[in-house]
Structure 1
Amino acid sequence: MELSIYQVDAFADGIFTGNPAAVIPLYEWLSDDLMRHIAMENNLSETAFFVQKGEYFELRWFTPEEEIDLCGHATLASAHVLYEFLEYTDPVVVFETKSGRLFVDREGDLYSMDFPAWEYREIEVTERVSTALGARPAELYMGQRDMMAVFETEEEVRALDPDFRLVAKLDGLGLICTSPSQDYDFVSRFFVSELSIPEDPVTGSAHTMLVPFWADRLGKDVLTAYQASKRGGVLYCENLGGGRVKISGKAVSYMTGTIHL
């Protein structure tokens, strides 16, 4: 069996920036075990698989270790593959996922994703979090999946050098660190050592929590964000209300190939 594979840098203005994802179109679903092995072999933060079902596409995301319920950059990468390589021409791509229906449209070189907004609640800043990060955040929140540490300055966020062994022991799948920014509305970083991904380069799903938080904090619904990882990436965001957010970014094709099974 041979499968086509595409590697795309999402939330990127050029190759070697943004967040790389592998995308594998299928005619029918492979076994979960085989998809896990392919994701492990790819060794990227996410490998996306999709199958067309009439007018929409079923979409699933796998890290090198397990399937996850939401991934922004691999969703953007999947839409990019459909438009750039698979002759998809409809104005909107509809993906059916474990997080419900997700919608992606393209205008020029910008892809916009309509995602659910994640709720969050403030919790006490603990010494466990401060010790894991090597710095004490001003505020701490717990979302539906991730923990979020809020700092007062961008310099604090950029300077973080976490102890990933301690980060792995914290609650939640990942730890978002964020602050306001002078050049953007806010910046963030995302640590996920629980899944053997010390720092995710650009995390669309984290912005389902970041966007409503900063929209409320800054009193504006249209926001520009930067994820300050080594690769870095710009995200254009909008708080849509009604429990939805729009997350937009560019994508760059890096590699195409064939998997031999």
Structure 2
Amino acid sequence: MFLNSLSPSRQYKIEKMVLLIRKLSLSVWHNDPLGRNSFLGEREVDLAGWDWRNNKLNWYMLKPRSLSTINCVDHRGVINLSIKYIPPGSLGRKTPPSGEVHIWVKDTKDLPQLRPSGVGSFVKCYVLPDTSKKSYQKTLIVQRDSNPVFNHTIVYDGFHTEDLKDACVELTVWDHEKLTNHFLGGIQLGLGTGSSYGIAVDWMDSTQEEVAFWQEMMTTANEWIEASLPLRSLAGKRKLK
């Protein structure tokens, strides 16, 4: 598969001296009607050796997903949050009746530049494998700001301790405008085993940082665990319903 350098363009405001020490990372994805995205290939272009006078058509062979991409070098900003697990009955007799996961979304920093037409940004959350309306929650929209403060707490009940190894909390940040929403970056908190309840899934691909954060929550009941995690592209991000 090939990539055409004269495909529809996107503009970024970056000083040339900064570009000379950067690499342009491009990836191609297939989007199906259900909102799932399948990785097709990627290419990195070293801008230090780029001929800025070039206006000819260039073609590049796409490559398989690199280790750097898998390990989240595709930095899209940072999300600051805390999580807490409350086991069933740990706060008194039959309180809570089932386990609860609390997610405190504090803020995000250094988001990709919002489009001029964008209204603002927001965070949405699913507890996978459930993608129903019951699982879906979101923060309020914060007006145009590359470092928005949400300070929003999301609570999910019905969590038995044994469910924690098969579930995954997916948090994604979106640029919102009146007609559509554009994905900016996300994280997936879980054990990153590649499977859920014995079924292979693409979304159980948490990074080492995300896995460590989830494991600390599992082993430290009833206490807030805090972290700053890099946002990244996700293979199966859910569209806003």
TM-score by length of 1: 0.31
More helix, by proportion: 1
User: Which structure is higher in RCO with an 8 Å CA cutoff and minimum separation 6?
Assistant: 1
Larger Rg belongs to = 2
